[in-house]
Structure 1
Amino acid sequence: MLKQTLKRSFQSTSAVFTNAAKPANYGQPIASTHGYLMSDTELTPGITTHEYEQRRKKLVNQLNPGDSVVCVSGQVKMMSQEIFYSFRQATDFNYLTGFQEPDSAVVIERDDSVPRGYKMVLFVRPKDPQVELWDGARTGLDGAMKIFQADEVSGCLEIPDVFLTPLQSKPTSSLASFLKNTLRAHKTVYASHPNLPEKARRRVSSFSSSTSHAKALVDYLSSAIRGQGTSEGDSVLSTLGLPNVKPLGPLVQRLRAKKSIAERTLMRNSGRIAGMAFRDAMGFARAGLTEHQVAARFEYKCAMAGSERQAYVPVVASGANGLAVHYTANTMQIDENDMMLMDAGCELHGYNSDITRTWPVNGKFTQPQQDLYQAVLNVEKECIKLCTEEKGVSLNYIHRESVRLLGKELKQIGFDQMRYGDLERILYPHYISHPLGMDLHDTPSFDRSQKLEEGNVITIEPGCYVFPSDRFPKWFHNIGVRVEDDVLVGKHAPTVLTQEAPKEVADIEQVCEARVGL
């Protein structure tokens, strides 16, 4: 995979200079400047312009005539003073538009009188040579119009200027006035924006909380639009009509929960990259290194294979550090007899992988280590078998089954002094799974009690963490084990997307034995 990526990069070098693609004229990769990365039909790597159009149509089909959608982008977040974090686009906005710049928004209005059933207005930052001198290119109004317009629509419609063309780009600064002038006539406005806290997102589905959702929307607009005063924000708030503002998230997440063929391919590739990086990390980790160095090696291998960023702060826990489910300090030196618990993943073109593996640093399981590891692995493999639409089960069912199976496995290896609650409160305190996709914990409105469907992607991640206690066999003390894979739910059979990461005892020992260089 790495060699193929580098080969494509080298082969495309002459074409890049011939096409004078540098310096960039747009705020994100496009086919004409990044031919090594995407085809002419793709709006973003792996996803075609047509697929983005179909996403919007499916969303509009959930609306009533006259309803509209307001979805805003992410904003650049600052680490300290003027030092910023790497920008990542707001997920719902990314899913609907593919536009990768901050301080942007899209308004979609259902309109059955036009061929594609809706009108779409895209708000972007205009070109600004002075700013671009420092920060690099923006796509701008003309670029956004040219690149992000659906290919089956052409020309202008004879409609009031306020709606412009079916897809028209406007400066972000005009968004507040646009909302004020247009949304008062809409029956229901579905809004999504990154400044609404996660707890509020889950709460706003009720009618009584629509006020807080609308207020949060206006707070976002007031802070996102430069020079926008509070009085204008209050005016927009009064214009929206609070009862008719509802959360957009559940509607979009309903679409995101079932992955398209293109999305499945991207997630398989993300899983392959992370899986191969895990294989390398097993051969790389050794006594004397620090946990941070193993994390850095993993990130390096993912990046060289094409990943843009890590999916999350990795857990690289040696020895007893593995007892903490979300240990991310990664500061300690690795000892020869440690077990290494590593939970890491990467993001590829907006889609995430999430893997956990546990292995002996010295390359050979002791008998207690192998017994506990095999118990967890057996549970994981049985739970993966349940991940089909044909089985008709939910995440809650799979979790209950994982608890039952782990209890059975632990009794077989000597856990016969456990008290009521020890299994789920101490030894296995976390849930078996979460949806996975453009976000690590994808589609938060996904109902754990609903039956799994073909196209869902979930993690399966049982674990066991043995704290020093007289109730647990002493030879297992201070060992933490977790095994996690990403699973595509199929009609009749699941597909493990992260199969390159070794997990059988013999495979792990073989990979560890083949030490890789520093």
Structure 2
Amino acid sequence: MLLKTLARSKLYSCGRTLTNVKPLDYVKCIRLRNFSTSLSRSEKLYTEHLESLHRDGVRFGQPTQFSHPHILKTDELAIGLLPSEFADRRNRLMQKIKEHCVKYGKPSRNIVIIPAAMKKYMTGKIPYFFRQNSDFFYLTGCLEPESILVLWMEDEGQSKSALFMRPKNKHEELWDGPRTGVDHSVTFFGVDEAHPLADVAKFVEKYVSKSKSVNVWYENNDEIQPKLYSNLRPILSTTTLFQSPLEFLHELRLIKSPAEANLMRKTCEIASKAVNLTMQQSKAGDSEHHIHARVDYHCRMNDAQFLAYPPVVAAGNNANVIHYINNTQVAKDGELVLMDAGCEYGGYSSDITRTWPVSGKFTPAQEVLYEVVHEVQKELLNVVSTVENVTLDQLFDLMCFRLGKYLQEICVINKSLNELDSARRAGYKFCPHHVSHYLGMDIHDTPLIQRSRVLTPGMVFTVEPGLYIPANSSEVPQEFRGIGIRIEDDVLYTKDGAEVLTKNCIKEVSELKKLISN
């Protein structure tokens, strides 16, 4: 009854009366109109229709609010995100491209092609865990592999969207689980059209052939779907060049919406709790692998999908290998453990580093170096909150300078280095990585955005000063050798300054001692 009611309504009638329509006719009809606009007006209608399909036994290629109510809330297409959010992202992307073309005198006809990730295999038919292409997920909310999103401009300037999906296949679904297929993709994902995956080249060719001047926006250097480029290239004239849409996408992804900010808060909350529990349960004699397993366990038990990246769990001198991920050594009594770990929740990632004494007690040298790093981080966070027009590159320069000055004070380096540049160079020698990177759907998010960009409300980034003094550093006093320390927090920049999303992850010396001794 609900399907017939929807079909009779003006909202879904496509300008004609539909009193006795079959479900497939209904889906074909709504392809003809801008379904995404209706989603922004009424998430409720979207939910009612999904409920009807669920009752009819329709299964989709990813969780829904009815199949997985413990994961998705009412009206959500993806965790924490409504269908209208994805429609708005698509519209803003096309608006950015349109403005770019007007500014630079490019053709007004534009078509954008964004592929989903492919399944990858360890060996034979044994797959790696699937993770969706972030740009594709950002624009669709779709978690299915091999799909393709196409966006284009109509002659009157209106933007449209289509998903090209794997067709339903009983045999394949027996082994790999349900697919959404073509027929229900319009309703489920809120796009204007849906077509079989095999038709994408024909669709693009038809659009491009209508005009001699078309901008084709496709990142052909990316190997997400290698066959896609080889299928598209022959249908385009030799004068039609692919142009990458990634710069526009990264501009959009850089500034988090309120819903995205809440997802960032949640993923950071999960990781903070997991890191605290992992530090508390660690002890001398644990292997780095065991500590790795604990942080993974605690993240998943608090609803993270998985770890956001292979964690660094580095005991003793291993901490001086900045991207150490072997995690095979034993943490000995008296050593520090540096752990860099984060989780992914709803497609958004956290990134935390904490360093602690595995036995619960710092040596004097360990504690003084730890306090240097902690003090520098506090100064940097204060700058973010109090100084206008600051950039991540400026934070890096400040970190290098302050580390150099503090290392002079504790006699790790020569006190005669009085010049600003000399102190900076000394700081950089002992912390050879940047102090910050953008954070979001990816750990090193939006890499096309320069770190010389002035911080703007909605940006999320890390603040992660460190000190690394390898065991063979003969120019450093003996007691400081073999110590590596990093403290990393995730920050949401707001109109009021810095909101530290990982503030509940313990890092004060007194609190660390208390946590681990308990």
TM-score normalized by the length of structure 2:
0.82
Is 2:66 the partner of 1:26?
no
Structure 1 stretches of 4+ moved >4 Å: 19-24, 418-422
- Paired with 1:463 and 1:371, the residues of 2 have a C-alpha distance of 13
Q: What letter corresponds to residue 191 of structure 1 in structure 2?
A: Y
Shift of 1:416: 3.1
For 2:140, which of 93, 97, 113 is the aligned residue?
97
- Paired with 2:56 and 2:429, the residues of 1 have a C-alpha distance of 56
What are the within-5 Å matches in structure 2 for residues 94-493 of structure 1?
A: 94-111=137-154, 113=156, 117-149=158-190, 167-184=192-209, 185=211, 187-192=214-219, 196=222, 219-221=226-228, 234-236=233-235, 238-239=236-237, 241-243=239-241, 245-388=242-385, 391-417=388-414, 423-424=426-427, 426-467=429-470, 468-493=472-497
TM-score normalized by the length of structure 1:
0.82
Shift of 1:83: 1.3
- Paired with 1:55 and 1:233, the residues of 2 have a C-alpha distance of 25
Structure 2 contact 400–425 (Cα < 8 Å) conserved: no
- Paired with 2:216 and 2:427, the residues of 1 have a C-alpha distance of 43
- Paired with 2:56 and 2:382, the residues of 1 have a C-alpha distance of 49
- With over 3 angstroms needed to count, the CA separation of the structure-2 counterparts of 1:140 and 1:388, relative to structure 1, is farther
- Paired with 2:461 and 2:203, the residues of 1 have a C-alpha distance of 39
Q: What letter corresponds to residue 297 of structure 2 in structure 1?
A: Y
Higher CA-based Rg = 2
- Paired with 2:277 and 2:462, the residues of 1 have a C-alpha distance of 22
Instruction: Note the residue ranges of structure 1 that are not aligned, 5 or more in a row.
Output: 1-18, 151-166, 198-215, 223-229
Structure 1 contact 107–121 (Cα < 8 Å) conserved: yes
- Paired with 2:232 and 2:342, the residues of 1 have a C-alpha distance of 40
Shift of 1:473: 1.8
Percent of aligned pairs with the same amino acid: 36
Which deviates the most, 271-280 or 56-65?
56-65
Instruction: Note the residue ranges of structure 2 that are not aligned, 5 or more in a row.
Output: 1-52, 99-107
- Paired with 2:232 and 2:89, the residues of 1 have a C-alpha distance of 31
* SS of structure 1 residue aligned to 2:182: helix
- With over 3 angstroms needed to count, the CA separation of the structure-2 counterparts of 1:393 and 1:285, relative to structure 1, is same
- Paired with 2:232 and 2:217, the residues of 1 have a C-alpha distance of 18
- Paired with 1:22 and 1:85, the residues of 2 have a C-alpha distance of 33
- Paired with 1:21 and 1:477, the residues of 2 have a C-alpha distance of 65
- Paired with 1:455 and 1:76, the residues of 2 have a C-alpha distance of 32
- Paired with 1:58 and 1:506, the residues of 2 have a C-alpha distance of 48
Aligned residue pairs, count:
448
Match of 1:67 in 2: 110
Q: What letter corresponds to residue 63 of structure 2 in structure 1?
A: P
**1:424-454 superposed Cα distances (whole Å, 9 cap, x missing partner):** 5541111111100001100011111111111
- Paired with 1:366 and 1:389, the residues of 2 have a C-alpha distance of 34
Structure 2 contact 216–240 (Cα < 8 Å) conserved: no
